[in-house]
Amino acid sequence: MINVIVVGNGMVGYKFCEKFISKSGQENYQITVFGEEPRRAYDRVHLSEYFAGKTADDLSLSTTSWYEDNNIILNTSELITDINREQKTIHTHLEKTYEYDYLVLATGSAAFVPPIDGVEKEGVFVYRTIEDLDAIMAYAKKIKANGATEAAVLGGGLLGLEAAKAVRDLGLNPHVVEFAPRLMPRQLDKGASDMLQSKIEELNIGIHLNKATQYIAGEESIKGMMFADDELLNVNMLVISAGIKPRDELGRVSGLEVGVRGGIVVNNKMQTSDPNIFAIGEVALYNQMIYGLVAPGYEMADVAAEQILKGDKTMRDTIDMSTQLKLIGVEVASFGDPFIENEDVTAIVYENKFSGIYKRINVTKDGKTLLGGILVGDSSDYNGLFQIYANAMALPPNPEDLILGSRGGKVSTLGSASDLPDTAVICSCENVTKGAICCSILDGTANTFGDVVKLTKATSGCGGCKPMVADLVKAAQKSIGKEVKESICEHFNYTRQELFDLVKINKYTNYYEVIDHHGNGDGCEICKPVVASIFSSIYNDTANKHITTQDTNDRYLANIQRNGTYSVVPRIAGGEITPEKLIVIGEVAKQFDLYTKITGAQRVDLFGAQLNDLPKIWKVLIDNGFESGHAYGKSLRAVKSCVGNTWCRYGMDDSTTFAIELENRYRGIRSPHKLKGGVSACIRECAEARGKDFGVIAVEGGWNLYICGNGGANPKHAVLLAEQINKETVFKYMDRFLMYYIRTAGPLVRTSTWLEKLDGGLDYLKEVIIHDRIGICETLEAEMEKLVGTFECEWKQVLEKPRLLKRFSHFVNTDEKDDNIAFVPLREQKMPRPW
């Protein structure tokens, strides 16, 4: 095992783990994470929602079991104090030492506290962790109780404005104090800042620009802020949110290269000056910059994970700092270079003081390229503009249309998300492209917006791309004609085929996993057997593994009959049976007083068995070489045969042997409906093969294969799939046909109905399973191959495992049988009393 130690369990440290375990080759690595906070990684971007009522758990990025399930050791409340680079060990404040092969420093940053006299006074806080927020809340409560209402936030940047909202949510009047002459000085120009300021002031939040704070007034606790222009602002609480300071202490004590103004220096592989030590997120100084946004941090996490796993992914040279936010109810966004101004660039500005909207775009003089921009008051164009910028897309003839919107009845100049190239990054937090989103819908791995989110993680970062992802999902769904849904029941908004794929892709193995992830409610008698059948079709799980979700026949491995008794049908492949075995069946029937009948499928049915007797009956049968005939399952029942050329004077081939081979190949395989087959040795068709789901008839030069016939309420003759083929080809086509049916048919849909509903009908089916038109034959064959040869007799399993026997008693609290059952005589045998 190679040890990877991650120091820091914030958003980026967590993302590193998530990326790492999703990559191939990670099995040989052990990840150990250290976090100094007492809790698991949480969403710091949405921290202020904590004030609006979200709990720490709501903000959590994962669950405890997530770490366990992924074999990651998580140590919270443990602080790393030193690194010994020569011995490759780390030392913790609990005096423990751990060895590493690779070390990932994701220690993030702390709030930057400017050196102002009096910042240590009571009532001064930073805005960084849940603990900080708890302390702020407690203090706010205390001062409010004393009648104080005013509080200040130092810093008019992104986080400062967030903090101002939080302070307001606590019922205090916030004052935002900013050293620079404008709000969000790194993102907004003067015009945008003015607009934002007037919007914020409308909400009774004081804005104080150009203010250098000299000292914090008050004795023990804060009473006010004294500014350099001799103005005093009376406040009883101060939240400092004036920027961040990388937590680079570990880099410093261990002699890693650090920047002049802090931060551990990394190259484009996120390696520090020690190649076995990586730094990511807000502690990493890349291109002489600390990136205080989550998206670059996530990308760094991905790069470091790739590098440790010997991949070759590196960090891009230029990192996009575009952001879109809703601050205190005011929409604000900036992208690309918001300020750029020179003779090659024209800034187009739209300002509407009446509705409080300010928009600016920076366009090259030739009007061809969008370089950046700012939106305040209405950022609905952000996604479109950002995509045009990020993909260097062509601009409309009048670039101002981009921000002036649709004038004179024109449709939006931003076009629709569908016009974007596939390479366009839609979710920059998770680096998800348009191609990835649409593809997951088009190839069926995802069916809904929710699926796409689960699969690609798009929208799970800042969430700004949500409308665009929703549009793309809708467009993609539409393009494949997915409007009408044949969902299974009220608990699943999916078709059986969709559920089949969901189970297969996500490797679910129990019903409740499936309903928890993709359904709702408790399930029912419709969806439970469907999912159980899917498990059987994918993994060849026997019914014993899913007792709870099996329909009654599969649950008790016998067919329930009119009076609540069961019938027993051992397998008699191809209808061929030895005299010894015939005698055993007769003996069993006599011993347990069962009614016997030869069925239409060349088997012997034993009726009238009580639940408690089923295991005893099967014990005798299995001891004598029988196995379950699956007469109760939606699975292959029997393959009927005629006498064949071994005895028949007309027979052209050995139909009995072929029928036995077919039956044994597909026995036990679960399908959407029951399946029957037949093999006839000549066109006299004594096996009635063309009345079955598959029928094989011997002809001059080989076998004719017919499919999709059935008896029942709506009898259908099977149709010819292929002529004069050899046995091997019959098996090949059969494998493909059955698997295609199993994968795509609705629940309880017979092969004949399935074919009727299939677009393009038989001709299309031939294209798919004979000519491999959609290139799935190899997959179908491989999937069938997995099922063939893994047959297990379910009754043998039951008899070998006493705990499986428990279900076969009628009462929980006594061994008695059901005394309600009564029989009446019939032609020297018996039958249930009439209803």
Partner 1 sequence: MEELLSQYETVNLSAVKIWFKAGSIKDFPSNRGGCIKYKNKQIAIFNFERRNEWYACQNACPHKMEMVLSRGMTGSTDGIPKIACPMHKKTFSLVDGSNLNGDDFKIATYPVKIEGNEVFVGFLE
Q: Which residues bind partner 1 (CB under 8 A)?
A: 490-491, 512, 521-525, 528-529, 547-549, 551-552, 555-556, 560, 562-564, 806-807, 810-814, 816, 818, 820-821, 835
d(CA 324, CA 402): 17
Q: Least CB distance from residue 552 to partner 1, whole Å?
A: 4
Backbone angles phi, psi at 98, to 5 degrees: -130, 145
Q: Least CB distance from residue 833 to partner 1, whole Å?
A: 10
- Which residues are paired to 217 by β-bridges? 224
Q: Least CB distance from residue 487 to partner 1, whole Å?
A: 15
Cβ-based nearer residue to partner 1, 365 or 806: 806
8 A C-beta contact, residue 205 and residue 174:
yes
Helix (H, G, I), strand (E, B) or coil at 349: strand
Q: Least CB distance from residue 676 to partner 1, whole Å?
A: 23
Q: Least CB distance from residue 830 to partner 1, whole Å?
A: 17
Cβ-based nearer residue to partner 1, 179 or 512: 512
Q: Least CB distance from residue 754 to partner 1, whole Å?
A: 22
CA distances from 526 to 245, 530, 584, 758 (A): 58, 7, 38, 23
Q: Least CB distance from residue 526 to partner 1, whole Å?
A: 8
Count of CA atoms in the C-beta half-sphere (13 A) of 658? 33
Angle at 10 between CA 4 and CA 16, to 5 degrees: 40
Mention every residue, 6+ apart, whose C-beta is less than 8 A from residue 65: none
Cβ-based nearer residue to partner 1, 128 or 491: 491
The two structure tokens encoding residue 375: 């939106």
Cβ-based nearer residue to partner 1, 526 or 770: 526
Cβ-based nearer residue to partner 1, 354 or 835: 835
Residue of 834, 670, 663, 665 lying closest to 745 (CA atoms): 670
Q: Least CB distance from residue 605 to partner 1, whole Å?
A: 19
CA distances from 525 to 227, 610, 766 (A): 72, 23, 35
Cβ-based nearer residue to partner 1, 490 or 623: 490
d(CA 625, CA 75): 57
Q: Least CB distance from residue 505 to partner 1, whole Å?
A: 24
CA distances from 116 to 158, 212, 239 (A): 21, 10, 13
141: alpha, beta or left, given left = phi > 0 and alpha = psi -120 to 50?
alpha
Cβ-based nearer residue to partner 1, 578 or 814: 814
Q: What's the sign of the alpha-carbon dihedral 756, 760, 761, 764?
A: negative
d(CA 171, CA 165): 10
Diameter over CA atoms, the chain: 119
Cβ-based nearer residue to partner 1, 168 or 518: 518
d(CA 37, CA 794): 52
Backbone angles phi, psi at 503, to 5 degrees: -65, -45
Q: Least CB distance from residue 600 to partner 1, whole Å?
A: 23
The two structure tokens encoding residue 290: 């600390």
The residue type found at 770 is I
d(CA 512, CA 506): 13
Q: Least CB distance from residue 811 to partner 1, whole Å?
A: 5
Cβ-based nearer residue to partner 1, 137 or 560: 560
The two structure tokens encoding residue 347: 């800034």
Cβ-based nearer residue to partner 1, 494 or 658: 494
DSSP state of 763: H
Rounded to 10°, the helix 727-744/496-506 angle is 100
The two structure tokens encoding residue 12: 């980026």
Q: Least CB distance from residue 616 to partner 1, whole Å?
A: 19
Cβ-based nearer residue to partner 1, 529 or 629: 529
d(CA 547, CA 556): 8
Helix (H, G, I), strand (E, B) or coil at 524: coil
Cβ-based nearer residue to partner 1, 532 or 617: 532
Q: Least CB distance from residue 810 to partner 1, whole Å?
A: 6
Q: Least CB distance from residue 813 to partner 1, whole Å?
A: 5
Cβ-based nearer residue to partner 1, 649 or 803: 803
Cβ-based nearer residue to partner 1, 253 or 524: 524
Q: Using the structure block, give the residue that is written with the tokens 């991949």.
A: 311
